[in-house]
Amino acid sequence: MKIAVAQLNYHVGNFEGNLKKMLNAIDEAKMQQADIICFAELATVGYPPRDFLEFEDFVLKAEQTITHLAQAAQDIAIVVGSIEKNTSGKGKPLYNAAYFLAEGKIQYVQHKALLPTYDIFDEYRYFEPARTFQVVHYKGKKIALTICEDLWNLGQENPLYTICPMDELMPQSPDFMINIAASPFSYKQATARINVLKANINRYKIPLFYVNQCGAQTEILFDGGSIAMSPDGTIFEELPYFKPALRVYDLEKVRQGGQHFEQKKEKIQLIHDALIMGLQNYFEKLGLKKVILGLSGGIDSAVVAVLAATALGKNNVRVLLMPSQFSSDHSVQDARILAENLGIQYDIIPIENIYKAYETTLQPHFWATEFGLTEENLQSRARGMLLMAFSNKFGHILLNTSNKSEMAVGYGTLYGDMCGGLSVIGDLYKTEVYELARYMNQQKTIIPERTITKPPSAELRPDQKDSDSLPEYDVLDKILYQYIEERQGPQEIIDMGFEEALVKKVLRLVNINEFKRHQTAPVLRVSTKAFGMGRRMPIVAKYLV
Amino acid sequence: MKIAVAQLNYHVGNFEGNLKKMLNAIDEAKMQQADIICFAELATVGYPPRDFLEFEDFVLKAEQTITHLAQAAQDIAIVVGSIEKNTSGKGKPLYNAAYFLAEGKIQYVQHKALLPTYDIFDEYRYFEPARTFQVVHYKGKKIALTICEDLWNLGQENPLYTICPMDELMPQSPDFMINIAASPFSYKQATARINVLKANINRYKIPLFYVNQCGAQTEILFDGGSIAMSPDGTIFEELPYFKPALRVYDLEKVRQGGQHFEQKKEKIQLIHDALIMGLQNYFEKLGLKKVILGLSGGIDSAVVAVLAATALGKNNVRVLLMPSQFSSDHSVQDARILAENLGIQYDIIPIENIYKAYETTLQPHFWATEFGLTEENLQSRARGMLLMAFSNKFGHILLNTSNKSEMAVGYGTLYGDMCGGLSVIGDLYKTEVYELARYMNQQKTIIPERTITKPPSAELRPDQKDSDSLPEYDVLDKILYQYIEERQGPQEIIDMGFEEALVKKVLRLVNINEFKRHQTAPVLRVSTKAFGMGRRMPIVAKYLV
């Protein structure tokens, strides 16, 4: 028996586009004599469809896509993720379902049992869990069909769930497993995934075909990395990260094993490639091409510019250099060198006249006050407005260049440097931004060395440095990581050896700046806990503040 | 037996403050000889605590609050909502729990069974549902203790759930019911709530004490309206809306009935009072006082200014009138009259010089282009920047004045009129904003009549009217209501008699402007479906666009 694993890039709500991609893959799989082709979880609708699932019309279009696919299931069987209505009258209105299509018809539908409802996941908002489990009989084989999280309560070690679908299916003696997934990327995910799949194999000792999707859905990135695994727990083949792929496997060969192909999992490279895909998909899927950003001479905008040029092509990236009286000479120079290294269009637009116009207009009201945060923010906002003017005039989308450290502690100006349609590096701590910059400079120096080595500064007042108001980033980032990714409280972090006053100050800054993060662009997610839909915090609260 | 219903205003994460309020209420109830005092759902932590629930330290503080309250349960029993750890090793880590405290100890803990996971609710993200149900024995009475949604699957008519807690409890012959709730306001909610409670009474025929909370938690408004209901389904007493209250009831009197006190439920008055509370609580709970907004002479900013002056006092409200060359004379005049009617500080700051500075700065880049959206947005953004400068300089928080209609179709400028820390009327369609304005003018004319009667205009280019680019609001709002509140698809709305092209245009506008709403302030929620945490839509999608 030959099994095709189709790792495709779907698009939420794009029923026609998703169907077309699947039909093409079916043709290709047939040419390669596949008996079964497997697509990912919710392939018809894209993942996550979110509240579109509450629309009858949306559900209907998913059903129509399944009807189309069923018609294409001639001389090949199709495993595909979609939604199914819950007609029982009890429980949530839909199921997250794996359809088994063959001979022009729906042969079987297996519902998902374990519905992730944490971090970015809201599955129990929409779906009723599976209550029954059955293997699929096809061409003399028995197939155990599961959906993503269904494999993540192995032997019931996962405290979140009370059922283990494979334990339910094993008494029916399946010959192999198919797991269709929509498993989002984080730089730790590929390793975590492989560990879980191996643990399943160790327990059940039958071949596994794991089909993930690739591509970005706004901030959620899917890395692909689909896997055929032999019964001895060896990875027969891991499919590429971050791009579509189709492979046809001979079941017997996978069962016999003796082949091992797995990809490197280096943190910064994974993050780099994930961000490139995130940028590309955001624009492709919106039908857009061109971006703009402000280049300050600092590390954050430099890294975003390199990512944008790599992802979208140098002709689609335009930058503005907007010096003020507080900009150091080397900043403009470094920004210009970078733009020239990348071959992207740049304009130098001093903000002095605009800043002065604000100053003159506000003078009657502010005359008795001193230069301070207001005036710093005005510079940042003047830049934001200029960038948005270019964006509106020429159709370039503004890329946000905030990093996770500054987003965390509120070291950014709302409606100023926090502007932008997409936050590219908002899930990278400052220390990770430096790592990424060095990675980019490995082959040749693209980002000027001085941008990497000089002390970070917002340059909004004379001789300003980030370290005037913040702890050094190597300490700050460690505290933030414990609080954000690891959900450690103040005492736990202090017990790790950090200074009490510093820990309390940092946690307070994170909490009182929730209102700023509420108004920022979606952040491409590369960590296990990004700002955005996966981290839901009250704004008006009084906890650790 | 005497039962005290304590309808209090809690604050998320403010353990000390919440405890203090409850201790005061306990003293008061004891003075009135109450045998039991009842507080609301999650009273110790405030509702919704959101992802703070993932912090061990937060859970610990809730446990400590319960310990304190248990010590106070001397000569009185306490029913109070909090969280409890799930120590079973299976399922979600916490329970949403009702504690029964008496004689200095925790006597019983009833978990919540029906966990709302839709709209603004994420309860299954954190909580494991109850599996067992037991009445509480106290002073010879048996009490059926339930939590909020637990009463909302009466006779299992609610398709969302598969269990009915009261059906489980009735075989134990309870004498009365206590339901502790955190039931958020919408202008339809008080009526819906009473209908559900009556249906419970009709089925179980025992007295009911329903304890809601009041107050705002960021965008979520709790209206109170706690209820003592007699076994014949009559409302013995409904507690006030939008403010704290404590009542002590004689169980026998409530059982006998013969008293009926219920409040008026007029949509616009409810919305008005809800918004006032929302504004007050947002600022009180953040420890802030002063607000600023731009007054254009139009209806939206006028209504927000009146709400702010009513909620916060005229001395805490400051407005800027920022005319451009496109502002009509009457706009400035109307804005000035309103400011004078309200007695609030106003300044007139023409934006001409700032606008010209942008024009001059951009001229070398824009010289071949025509006046258009870019230039309109620049005016709106110059105003936003001025308001934010005042906000930064003097500590006034900027109020956003966008309405739901324009937020829906993207008729607003990101980083311009969409700025602000809190959206006051972002859940009111334009037609509802007019209704609210007329309501405000009932006693005497506060908002100039011309502000209400003139055709709405953004005044960003000569002779502009909203109706140049949008359908008339009375049609637009009806389509939006069907799409947003009622989740009707295009065909269903067309079938109601709306023009096909118009429906498709409006739905497309809503969907392609998701990115703008992603970056707006929290919106005070008054409808059954507000923009924000209760409506979760993909940004990069291709559905109805």
**CA–CA min distance A117, chain B (Å):** 5
Query: pLDDT-based confidence at A163, cuts 50/70/90?
Result: confident
Average pLDDT in the B287-307 region?
Answer: 97
Take residue A163 and report the two structure tokens written for it: 């059922």
Query: How many beta-carbon contacts under 8 Å exist across A and B?
Result: 258
User: Of all residues in chain B, what percent carry a pLDDT higher than 90?
Assistant: 94
The string of pLDDT tens digits covering residues B86-95 is 999 889 999 9
Side chain identity at B148, as an amino acid letter? C
Measured CA distances, B471 to A156, A426, B476 (Å): 56, 38, 6
What distance in Å separates the CA atoms of residue A501 and residue B205, rounded to the nearest whole number?
57
**Global pTM?**
0.97
**CB-based contact (8 Å) between A385 and chain B?**
yes
Residue A51 at interface with chain B, using a CB cutoff of 8 Å: yes
The pLDDT assigned to A159 comes to 76
pLDDT at residue B163, rounded to an integer: 87
Contact yes or no for A286 and B90 at CB 8 A: no
Q: Is residue A290 over pLDDT 70?
A: yes
Strands (E), B327-418: 345-348, 397-400
CB-based contact, B57 to chain A, within 8 Å: yes
Give the one of A160, A385, A518 whose C-beta lies nearest to B381's C-beta. Answer: A385
Contacts of B286 in chain A (CB under 8 A): 540
Q: Among B21, B112, B404, B516, which one carries the catalytic annotation?
A: B112
pLDDT of residue A67: 98
Q: How confident is the model at residue A154, as a pLDDT? A: 74
B539 confidence band (pLDDT: 50, 70, 90): very high
Binary contact (B392, A377; C-beta < 8 A)? yes
Distance from CA of A12 to the nearest CA of B (A): 5
- A360 to chain B, closest Cα gap in Å: 9
Q: Rounded to whole angstroms, how far apart are CA atoms A1 and A523? A: 43
Instruction: For strands B317-321 and B345-348, give the pairing.
Output: parallel
Using the CB atoms, write b or e for A322-345: b if 16+ within 10 Å. Answer: bbbebbeeebbebbbbbbebbebe
| SS3 label, residue A12 | coil
Q: Are A299 and A434 in contact (CB under 8 A)?
A: yes
Q: How far is A489 from chain B (nearest CA, A)?
A: 6
User: Shortest CA distance to B418 belongs to which of A380, A415, A516, A521?
Assistant: A415
Of the residues A539, A544, A545, the best mutation for testing chain B's interface (the one with the most B CB atoms within 10 Å of its CB) is A539
Residue A416 is encoded by which pair of tokens?
């100023």
Please, where in chain B does CATH 3.40.50.620 lie?
Answer: 275-467
Distance, C-alpha B226 to centroid of its chain: 17
Kindly state the average pLDDT of the residues A405-412.
97
What's the pLDDT band for A285 if we cut at 50, 70, 90? very high
Identify the pLDDT of residue B341: 98
Strands A214-217, A220-223: pairing is antiparallel
The pLDDT value recorded for residue B364 is 97
Q: DSSP characters for A57-80?
A: HHHHHHHHHHHHHHHH-SSSEEEE
Supply the DSSP symbol for A209: E
**Which residues of chain B neighbour A11 with C-beta distances below 8 Å?**
540-542
Cα(A397)–Cα(A387) distance, integer angstroms: 9
Q: Is the pLDDT of residue A153 over 90?
A: no
- DSSP string for residues in B217-270: ETTEEEEB--EEE-TTS-EEEEPPBSS-EEEEEEHHHHHH----------HHHH
For B167-178, the pLDDT digits (tens) are: 999 999 999 999
Residue A10 has pLDDT above 70, yes or no: yes
Residue B154 predicted with pLDDT over 80 = no
Q: A292: which chain B residues are within 8 Å (Cβ-Cβ)?
A: none
Q: B528 CB near a chain A CB, below 8 Å?
A: no
Q: For tokens 């990004």, what's the residue?
A: A530
Beta-carbon count within 10 A of A378 CB: 26
3-state SS class at A472: coil
Residue the block writes with tokens 């007295």:
B207
pLDDT of residue A89: 86
Asked if A407 reaches chain B (Cβ–Cβ under 8 Å), the answer is: no
Q: Cα–Cα distance between A232 and A240 in angstroms, integer?
A: 22
Burial of residue B503, with CB atoms counted within 10 A of its CB: 0-12 exposed, 13-18 middle, 19 or more buried:
buried
Instruction: Determine the distance in angstroms separating the CA of B77 from the nearest CA of chain A, rounded to an integer.
Output: 28
Instruction: Give A477's pLDDT tier (boundaries 50, 70, 90).
Output: very high
Report pLDDT digits (tens) over B33-87.
999 999 999 999 999 999 999 999 999 999 999 999 999 999 999 999 999 999 9
**Tell me, what's the pLDDT at A156?**
61
Residue A285 forms contact with B (CB below 8 Å): yes
Q: Which of B17, B349, B539 sits opposite A522 (nearest CB)?
A: B539
Hey, is the C-beta of A120 within 8 angstroms of any chain B C-beta? no
Three-class DSSP category at A82: strand
Contact A415 B356 (CB under 8 A): no
Phi–psi pair at A115, nearest 5 degrees: -105, 100
CA distance A374 to chain B (A): 5
Contact criterion met (CB < 8 Å) for B52 and A13: no
Measured between CA atoms, the residue of chain B closest to residue A373 is B392
Query: Is a pLDDT exceeding 90 seen at residue A162?
Result: no
Name the average pLDDT for chain A: 97
Q: From CA A500, how far away is CA A522, in angstroms rounded?
A: 32
Coil, helix or strand for A349? coil
Q: Do B91 and A415 touch (CB under 8 A)?
A: no
Place of tokens 């430096």: A434
In the residue annotation, B188 being an active-site residue is answered as no
Nearest to B292 by CA among B400, B413, B169: B400
Tokens of A295: 């280049």
A339 touches chain B (CB under 8 A): no
Separation between Cα atoms, residue B272 and residue B439, nearest integer Å: 9
Q: Is residue B215 helix, strand or coil?
A: strand
Task: Return the structure tokens found at B261.
Answer: 């006190």
The yes or no reply on domain B275-467 and CATH 3.40.50.620 is yes
CA atoms within 13 A on the CB side of A505: 10
**Is residue B529 flagged as an active site residue?**
no
pLDDT tens-digit readout, B380-395? 999 999 999 999 999 9
What residues of chain B lie within 8 A of the CB of A398, using their CB? none
Confidence class for position A335, pLDDT limits 50, 70, 90? very high
B155 pLDDT more than 70: no
List, for residues A231-240, the tens digit of each pLDDT value.
999 999 999 9
Average confidence (pLDDT) over B408-417: 98
User: Which regions of chain A carry the CATH code 3.60.110.10?
Assistant: 2-265
CATH 3.40.50.620 assigned to A271-467: yes
Whole-angstrom distance, CA of residue B530 vs CA of residue B187 = 12
Q: Which residue has the higher pLDDT, B120 or A468?
A: B120
How far CA A10 is from CA of A28, A56, A120, B42, B384, in Å, comes to 17, 21, 18, 41, 38
Give which of A382, A396, A314, A329 is closest to A352, Cα–Cα: A382
Predicted confidence (pLDDT) per residue in A12-27, tens digit:
999 999 999 999 999 9
d(CA A517, CA B389): 20
Query: What pLDDT shows up at residue B156?
Result: 61
Rounded mean pLDDT, A420-425: 98
Mean pLDDT of B250-258: 98
Q: Is the pLDDT of residue B179 over 80?
A: yes
Distance (Å, whole) CA B350 – CA A366: 16
How far apart are alpha carbons A331 and A338 in whole angstroms?
A: 11
B398 chain-A contacts, CB cut-off 8 A? none
Residue B329 has pLDDT above 90, yes or no: no
CA dihedral (A504, A507, A509, A515) in degrees, to 10, reads: -150
Q: How confident is the model at residue B159, as a pLDDT?
A: 76
Answer yes or no: B516 catalytic.
no
Architecture of domain B2-265: 4-Layer Sandwich (3.60)
